[in-house]
């Protein structure tokens, strides 16, 4: 099997230069191809290679992917700490004054130390009493889309791919993030409310790790594709099953538990890196 080795850096840093590329010892089968000057390059190689020692201390992401079937037909993405910078439940809790209690549970859950469903119920219980109307303020003032997210979604869709947001978070936020970034579909959990306030419970059944894999199966059937046609992105333990099941699973600024399972890890750059991994050139990006 032949592979494509891709290197990506932020353009502004100057870390990725042709001089650096020339210094790397790689089993190249051709010349380096420029996807974006000073930002992204790729080269075909005839066998796996580990660039970690050669790139140690440099803010450069790299990945080795099969040469065949690079451009995927669907993007399946997590939301919290993946397509957005924050964990929505932590931001709600901080607004309510119970931030430390909730964020500690969130970290343990995302690291795989706690069972997802019970950890979610425990955290949501701490949100009881928050007026639903204040969720809009939280979204507008505390939630930020990760760099390159809209370009990623719009570019893939412009080239015929589908895009779905599948989150263990909440529908209040996924519907808004989905609309802002251009996803066609989204799935998430529901925060229950009574008399205009959160009642401390979440709708059942909870959308957790298994439900993300079920969503993958559903969308593949709906769009007439296979899991191998999908690129998935996530950051935590509840994304492991999804990442394992697709053609290209990418860990985005992720926890170690997910990085160990991913085909590629993005640690230094933004979400447009997922386009470079599929062989898109910057002049193909949709940046509207």
15-28 pLDDT per residue, tens = 799 899 999 999 99
Q: How far apart are CA 62 and CA 257, in angstroms?
A: 19
* pLDDT (tens digit per residue) in 143-163: 999 999 999 999 999 999 999
**Given this model, what pLDDT does residue 124 score?**
96
Please give the pLDDT value at position 150. 98
Report the range of poorest mean pLDDT among 53-62, 105-114, 137-146, 274-283: 105-114
Q: Are 148 and 275 found together in one domain?
A: yes
Q: Which of 68, 86, 120 is the last residue of a domain?
A: 68
Same domain membership, residue 142 and residue 40: no
Burial label, 47 (beta-carbon count in 10 A; 0-12, 13-18, 19+) = exposed
CB atoms within 10 A of CB 72: 23
Same domain, 197 and 175: yes
Region 217-222 average pLDDT: 98
Which sequence positions are flagged as catalytic? Answer: 78, 80
Identify the CA nearest to 241 among candidates 215, 281, 213.
213
Q: Would you place residue 1 in the very low, low, confident or very high pLDDT band (cuts 50, 70, 90)?
A: low
pLDDT band at 109 (very low <50, low <70, confident <90, very high): confident
Query: Mean pLDDT across the stretch 77-95?
Result: 97
pLDDT tens digits, one per residue of 165-187: 999 999 999 999 999 999 999 99
Residues 53 and 80 in one domain: no
In the chain, DSSP assigns E strands to: 3-8, 33-36, 40-45, 61-66, 74-77, 162-170, 185-189, 191-194, 197-202, 230-234, 248-252, 264-266
Same domain, 63 and 76: no
pLDDT of residue 14: 67
Mean pLDDT (the chain) is: 95
In this structure, the answer to whether residues 33 and 80 fall within a common structural domain is no
Banded model confidence at residue 138, pLDDT cuts 50, 70, 90: very high
Most confident of 12-16, 109-113, 210-214: 210-214
- Give the domain range for residue 57: 1-68
| pLDDT tens digits along 33-65 | 999 999 999 999 999 999 999 999 999 999 999
Answer yes or no: do 99 and 121 share one domain.
yes
* pLDDT, mean of residues 234-242: 96
How many CA atoms lie within 13 Å of 11's alpha carbon, on the beta-carbon side?
Answer: 7
Across the range 273-281, mean pLDDT stands at 98
198 and 273 in a single domain? The answer is yes
- Measured between alpha carbons, how far is 127 from 123 in angstroms, rounded to an integer? 7
Residue 15: predicted pLDDT: 79
- Both 58 and 167 in a single domain? no
Q: What does the pLDDT read at residue 12?
A: 82
DSSP category for residue 146: P
Per-residue model confidence (pLDDT) at position 66: 94
Q: Are residues 48 and 184 in the same domain?
A: no
Q: Are residues 2 and 26 in the same domain?
A: yes
Indicate if 46 and 123 belong to the same structural domain.
no
64: domain CATH number is 3.30.70
Q: What is the mean pLDDT of residues 247-273?
A: 97
Kindly state the average pLDDT of the residues 66-84: 97
Lookup result for tokens 């050139």: 281
Domain total in the chain:
2
Among 68, 87, 109, the domain boundary falls at: 68
Helix and strand totals (H; E) in the chain: 11, 12
């Amino acid at each position: 099997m032949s592979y494509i080795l891709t290197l990506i850096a932020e353009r502004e840093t100057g870390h990725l230069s042709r001089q650096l590329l020339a210094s790397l010892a790689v089993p190249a089968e051709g010349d380096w191809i420029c996807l974006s000057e000073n930002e992204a390059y790729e080269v075909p190689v005839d066998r796996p290679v580990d660039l970690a020692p050669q790139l140690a201390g440099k803010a450069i992401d790299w990945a080795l992917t099969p040469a065949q079937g690079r451009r995927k037909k669907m993007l399946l993405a997590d939301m919290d700490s993946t397509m957005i910078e924050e964990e929505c439940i932590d931001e709600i809790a901080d607004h309510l004054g119970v931030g430390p209690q909730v964020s500690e549970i969130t970290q343990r859950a995302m690291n795989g130390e706690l069972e997802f469903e019970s950890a979610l119920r425990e955290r949501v219980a701490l949100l009881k009493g928050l007026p639903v109307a204040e969720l809009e303020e939280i979204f507008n003032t505390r939630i930020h889309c990760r760099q390159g997210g809209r370009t990623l979604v719009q570019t893939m869709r412009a080239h015929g791919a589908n895009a779905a947001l599948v989150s263990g978070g909440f529908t209040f936020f996924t519907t808004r993030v989905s609309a802002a970034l251009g996803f066609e579909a989204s799935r998430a959990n529901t925060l229950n409310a009574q008399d205009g306030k959160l009642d401390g419970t979440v709708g059942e059944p909870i959308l957790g790790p298994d439900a993300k894999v079920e969503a993958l199966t559903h969308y593949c059937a709906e769009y007439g594709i296979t899991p191998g046609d999908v690129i998935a992105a996530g950051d935590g333990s509840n994304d492991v099953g999804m990442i394992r099941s697709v053609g290209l699973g990418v860990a985005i600024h992720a926890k170690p538990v997910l990085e160990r399972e991913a085909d590629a890890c993005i640690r230094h750059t933004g979400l447009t890196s997922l386009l470079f991994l599929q062989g898109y050139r910057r002049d193909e990006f949709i940046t509207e």
